[in-house]
Amino acid sequence: MPAKLLDGKAVAASVRARVAEDVRRLRESGITPALAVVLVGDNPASQVYVRNKEKDCAEVGIRSVGRRLPAETTQAELLALVDELNRDPQVHGILVQLPLPPQIDERAVIEAIDPAKDVDAFHPSNVGRIMLGEYEFLPCTPAGVMELLADAGISPAGKTCVVIGRSNIVGKPMAMLLLHADGTVTVAHSKTPNLAEVTARADILVCAVGRAHFVTADMVKPGAVVIDVGMNRLENGKLAGDVDFEAVAEKASYITPVPGGVGPMTRAMLLQNTLRAAALLQKKD
């Protein structure tokens, strides 16, 4: 029996509706949540991502503050802008779109963002809180995966969970969230020997390696839940995930499509983080 789809579009729409209602209540109390999105240069993919984020903000009533800087912007100029946004009480979330031009140190920029406005949850302070399980914000993609699982009634508790990929953005925080949810977690990567043997034990398999069709059916346990975080463009221009979807769908119990799976969830969780940042500021006041 083919796997059931974990429909990211539908779940993300539900998250957006929930956020929109909470934003409406917050605006009634005199606070309009605002997200500043900083784009440096003219990377086409980044431009698309930023436009989508601005569209999402408009849908739920969050004010979008767009700041576009030329590709030749210096690190000092970008840090000055981040400082300005940190000090602006009308801005609740700050997102600097990555990647940045080569003359700019991404780490320095991330560390310059006020952790209370770091809606990407990339700041070392927020990363540490995720490790401790005492966080205010979660990285948007891992948070979206957990929301998808919860919506489908899939609990990681007591299950063998394998995450392929160890990036700071997805792999590492994903492992921590599954661990906090009482999963037994293995993080696999390019140096993992006998990878197929490791993944074939997984009740929940999350793949985030950025290689099209990397996970094949022989790597998947029958009945496993398969989460495909990958988004790869093939030579023919079509989008494909990290998972060989058609073959794996015949073996898994649940699977995310690409596109329409994790991607919409990532965008929805950014809105939720921005709302959270604004609500936390209201409590402080």
Please report, to the nearest 10 degrees, the dihedral formed by the alpha carbons of residues 34, 129, 152, 145 taken in order.
Answer: 70
14, 16, 8: which is closest to 56 by C-alpha? 16
Residue 67 is labelled as binding a ligand:
no
**Residues involved in catalysis:** 53, 97, 120
For residue 214, CA distances in Å to 7, 13, 207, 242, 263 come to: 21, 29, 9, 5, 18
51 appears as a binding residue in the annotation? no
Q: Is residue 98 within 8 Å of 110, Cβ to Cβ?
A: no
Q: What is the DSSP letter of 133?
A: T
Strand 232-233, strand 239-240: pairing: antiparallel
Cα angle 242, 207, 3; round to 5: 80
Would the annotation count 165 as a binding residue? Answer: yes
Q: Residues within the annotated binding site for NADP(+)? A: 165-167
Q: Residues within the annotated binding site? A: 165-167
